[in-house]
A = this chain, B = another copy of it.
Amino acid sequence: MRGLLVGRFQPFHLGHLAIVSEIRAAHPTEPLLLGIGSAQISYTPENPFTASERMEMILLALEEAGLGGTIPVPLLDIDRHALWVPYVASLLPRFERVYTSNPLTRTLFEASGYEVVDVPWTNRAEWEGTRIRRSLATGTDWRGAVPPAVGRYLESLGAPARLRLLGEAPRPPGGGSGPLP
């Protein structure tokens, strides 16, 4: 039996790590798939990091925490809710249990016969993606909300400068096409 946890991981933070840790402790012999949603989106205020960078964060954080038994997989969007569950099932190895706190995700997977388990967030006031992205952009403290290895990696990427730039710049048309509307 395997489980699936889907997120965007923009970035991978201590809230994610706590959930993975808890699930692994509860089911030590069941591999956990980590689906990296919206894998094709990057360099936007809501999705600043590429799938490659998010894979990197996850691998760094799990190694640092000594957590094995997870399988991270990037998932490109298909933008069709009615096909999303069979699409995911066609790419990932078989899984039976889905962890989510989103009611639509719950509905779609339950309608396809999966067991759905509520995700127990920890310290949600501070370990939360939107808040961390805002902190990166504004320069207030964000290091305390991510695993140390992720913190070092984000520094090496110049993440604070990237978030600042994405917050200020008008969205260029055309997937980055430019400046001259």
Q: When the two chains form the complex, which single residue of B76, B94, B108, B178 contacts A176, counting CB atoms closer than 8 Å?
A: B108
State how many copies of this chain the complex holds: 6
Are B51 and A101 in contact, CB atoms less than 8 angstroms apart? Answer: no
What interface size band does chain A fall in? 35 or more
Secondary structure class of chain A's binding surface, majority of residues? mixed
Contact assessment for B179 and A55 in the assembled complex, using a CB-CB cutoff below 8 Å:
no
Known A103-B169, A129-B181, A130-B181; judge A43-B82 contact (CB<8 A): yes
Q: Which residue of B15, B43, B130 is within 8 Å of A108 (Cβ)?
A: B43
Asked if A159 is at the interface of the complex by the 8 Å CB criterion, the answer is no
User: Is A83 part of the contact surface with B, judged by Cβ < 8 Å?
Assistant: yes
Check: A92 CB closer than 8 A to any chain B CB.
yes
Instruction: Point out the residue from B35, B86, B119 that lies within 8 Å of A86, measured CB to CB.
Output: B86
- B90, B99, B119: which contacts A51 (Cβ < 8 A)? B90
A21 interface residue, CB < 8 Å from B? no
A93 touching B52, Cβ below 8 Å:
yes
Stretch of A6-14, A134-142, A144-152 with 4 or more beta carbons under 8 angstroms from chain B = A6-14
Contacts of A8 in B (CB 8 A): 173-174, 177-178, 180-181
A50-85 contacts to B, CB under 8 A, are 50-52, 55-56, 59, 71-85
Q: Mind listing 28 A-B residue pairs with CB under 8 Å? A: A7-B179, A8-B173, A8-B174, A8-B181, A15-B180, A37-B177, A41-B81, A42-B80, A42-B81, A50-B82, A50-B90, A51-B90, A51-B91, A56-B93, A59-B93, A71-B71, A73-B74, A74-B91, A75-B177, A77-B177, A79-B175, A80-B175, A81-B176, A83-B87, A83-B90, A100-B178, A102-B170, A105-B179
